[in-house]
Structure 1
């Protein structure tokens, strides 16, 4: 209970008094919250995606099939999804600063344990525990972004924050590829674990929960958007409100289903691309790591561009942009699959295009669910779409492992393409829907 009370506490910075508030103070804290959440959530990826880079080496050393190693990904995804829902609700009732830092610290400790046994059951159990700690990263980030940035700028600002996915993903595949080639696969768990501990302390120092925790006014007041101000913003959400704002909201469920579909190619590529490129395209693991890093870095641009388009061109409508992205993704996946081995430049370009097109919808799914629910419910709403996204990740784990073991990589890519088209359909269902604040609902 002491830990829970600590998570709930609001710590005021003595250097900032309400009476000394000015716009430069607010700008400073918005910038600080943005870069700290980007760095912090990127650090979560250091102790999440290191496993995908270790798969080829672990399979060779222990003799595990892709189906067996896929179970590690799948069980992780199930626990991660369940944790996102529970921790989404808890984060809406807690202090995001401590919540996010604690989760990263726990993931770091689990990363160290992955080198202690060769038992498949051991790997599954501890990576599942990592899934729980990992689920403590996204909900508090979403809470802080929606409290420090207003509805009119949310698409662009959220997409900038979401670059953390790509920065962390690109960093770990590049670092882990080099570490594994030079020091063995275990180094890909030790080194990121140390880095994650350092970054958890960074989060404790840099983050603050809401403007109120610093004696500052709401972001709507700061931006002059008081027509969007929720008079109950500072109240903690109740279970009855969770039911009304989130669980009975069909647009939240459209986004959840779209998220499930897009996570099949997104996590399928990320988890299996190093193995696919090494086996099917005949490149080294280090080259594969850089190609997957290109997937992530291009995704950074794709996500920001998608958020900007949804704000500026489509005036707060996320559905059209995401649907177009996913439709184009199917052709890019076909290119990556059908080009024969021996064309590494084409493969790198295909990976980059796929990253650009898959991360735009991922960013917009999060923005849209924040639009369709409310600021007070954003943690639990993102938890709901996270649960279904984790089902997609689970399918991309043991499902892709089994399909590739029995039907080859062609079967895996066919699943990626079908999932992309179905995801586009669910985004189309929200084509004309904007934030409930803009709609006046």
Structure 2
């Protein structure tokens, strides 16, 4: 009988490496996603208790919309500089600093809210916006590095799904937190989730943060900003985020003001709108790759074609089951574009400036997120909810026109 082969230590180590690497990848994804989920909940939660904040601080709809919009405004300004810094520094360390920044911003907002100091609340939210954009851009960078070419799209899709999960968490639990602890507590309620995510993320991401290769030159950076295809995809992101934040910011207020529902019920109902994005954002890539053979344009075109009529007719119905159905369908449709746009924009530029393109997409998309809550508040104050939803539907129609002529990646 032949002797049984022995296994050397090196062979054992080699055989264990794929499993260890696989586990490490998903710990990085899980940790980064939890950090992002906590930030997204912090970002949207004032929208769930807008009437309480307005009554407490004596402010109107326009200024109340600024509580949500300021974070996106900060992110618009900070995204491109953040992307440039991340290309030249350690993204992992940047994530750690962003988590610390959120803790500071949340505590500041909580104290300012208790004192009734609206300007300090706004300033704290602006600081939180810096933390948000760092986590988003650095998270996509690190998750992309951690994953292999075979599972990168899935990993990034899961990370981007942290946005709607956080929005649903903020919308659904915000009124409950405000009722139990007072509305200023919403600003510190989700920092614990980011800390849990950081505990998972930090050890698993060791060695993944440092940039490799030369940073893009000024000429390459400028070429991205002059690229018409990049602007086309960016405009789709702008319109998609505008619709997304308009409904998230004013949906609960509509249900409370026009239908007489309690804040808690309205928040839970509107939470389905971002929550369906968990399915939508992940499935957008699968639909594009497996149903449309890698084409991106049909997904974004279909996204706006479905969303436009749903937004236009939203205020025409009073049936709660029907309104929930409309929120689910609209949320799914709008977030198909949001889920695909960051992969989309990377594919239409040279790989050396892909990170710059993502930062640009973040900046332009979040410009829509910044403007929509504020503009929505102005229209609601002047003309009411019916007109505001009508104008939002017109934005979706514009999205149809832009998506019709959207480019495809060269390899499609």
TM-score past 0.5 threshold: yes
Question: What secondary structure, in the 3-state scheme, does the structure 1 residue paired with 2:190 have?
Answer: helix
Q: Which moved more, 1:95-104 or 1:307-316?
A: 95-104
The separation in 1 between residues aligned to 2:269 and 2:354, in whole angstroms, is 34
1:382 partnered with 2:358:
yes
TM-superposed CA distance for 1:22, in Å, is 4.1
Q: Which moved more, 1:24-33 or 1:262-271?
A: 24-33
Structure-1 residue corresponding to 2:138? 140
1:325 partnered with 2:303:
yes
Pick closer, same or farther for the CA change 1:322–1:282 going to 2, 3 Å: same
**Cα deviation digits, residues 286-331 of structure 1 (max 9, x gap):** 1112112211221211222211111112222222111101110112
Q: In structure 2, which of residues 219, 222, 243 is the aligned counterpart of residue 243 of structure 1?
A: 222
1:99 partnered with 2:107:
no
Pick closer, same or farther for the CA change 1:361–1:414 going to 2, 3 Å: same
Structure-2 residue corresponding to 1:207? 205
Pick closer, same or farther for the CA change 1:28–1:199 going to 2, 3 Å: closer
Structure-1 residue corresponding to 2:375? 399
CA contact (8 A) 1:306 1:322 kept: no
1:363 partnered with 2:339:
yes
The separation in 2 between residues aligned to 1:321 and 1:26, in whole angstroms, is 33
Q: In structure 2, which of residues 128, 131, 146 is the aligned counterpart of residue 130 of structure 1?
A: 128
Structure-1 residue corresponding to 2:103? 108
Question: What secondary structure, in the 3-state scheme, does the structure 2 residue paired with 1:32 have?
Answer: helix
Question: What secondary structure, in the 3-state scheme, does the structure 1 residue paired with 2:265 have?
Answer: helix
Structure-2 residue corresponding to 1:255? 233
Structure-2 residue corresponding to 1:218? none
TM-superposed CA distance for 1:151, in Å, is 5.7
Question: What secondary structure, in the 3-state scheme, does the structure 2 residue paired with 1:235 have?
Answer: coil
1:28 partnered with 2:47:
no
Structure 1: state its 5+ residue gaps: 1-17, 214-231
**Cα deviation digits, residues 109-130 of structure 1 (max 9, x gap):** 2112123232332222222222
The separation in 2 between residues aligned to 1:25 and 1:93, in whole angstroms, is 29
Q: Which moved more, 1:235-244 or 1:39-48?
A: 235-244
CA contact (8 A) 1:292 1:351 kept: yes
CA contact (8 A) 2:24 2:204 kept: no
Question: What secondary structure, in the 3-state scheme, does the structure 2 residue paired with 1:47 have?
Answer: helix
TM-superposed CA distance for 1:260, in Å, is 0.9
Pick closer, same or farther for the CA change 1:373–1:33 going to 2, 3 Å: farther
The separation in 2 between residues aligned to 1:148 and 1:268, in whole angstroms, is 34
**Cα deviation digits, residues 55-78 of structure 1 (max 9, x gap):** 221101122100122233343322
CA contact (8 A) 2:75 2:366 kept: yes
CA contact (8 A) 1:96 1:209 kept: no
CA contact (8 A) 1:47 1:107 kept: no
Structure-2 residue corresponding to 1:284? 262
TM-superposed CA distance for 1:135, in Å, is 1.2
Pick closer, same or farther for the CA change 1:298–1:155 going to 2, 3 Å: same
CA contact (8 A) 1:66 1:402 kept: yes
Question: What secondary structure, in the 3-state scheme, does the structure 2 residue paired with 1:315 have?
Answer: coil
1:62 partnered with 2:41:
no
Q: Which moved more, 1:42-51 or 1:358-367?
A: 42-51
Q: In structure 2, which of residues 329, 337, 348 is the aligned counterpart of residue 372 of structure 1?
A: 348
Structure-2 residue corresponding to 1:219? none
Pairs within 5 Å for 1:287-302: 287-302=265-280
Pick closer, same or farther for the CA change 1:238–1:175 going to 2, 3 Å: same
Structure-1 residue corresponding to 2:167? 169
TM-superposed CA distance for 1:233, in Å, is 6.1
The separation in 2 between residues aligned to 1:154 and 1:203, in whole angstroms, is 17
Question: What secondary structure, in the 3-state scheme, does the structure 2 residue paired with 1:103 have?
Answer: helix
State the Cα RMSD in Å: 2.5
Q: Which moved more, 1:422-431 or 1:411-420?
A: 422-431
Q: Which moved more, 1:128-137 or 1:19-28?
A: 19-28
CA contact (8 A) 2:109 2:124 kept: yes
Number of residue pairs the alignment of both structures matches: 398
**Cα deviation digits, residues 78-137 of structure 1 (max 9, x gap):** 211111111122222222222123213212221121232323322222222221221111
Structure 2: state its 5+ residue gaps: 1-12
The separation in 2 between residues aligned to 1:207 and 1:314, in whole angstroms, is 34
1:352 partnered with 2:343:
no
Q: In structure 1, which of residues 76, 79, 84 is the aligned counterpart of residue 71 of structure 2?
A: 76
1:37 partnered with 2:16:
no
CA contact (8 A) 1:335 1:350 kept: no
TM-score (norm 1): 0.83
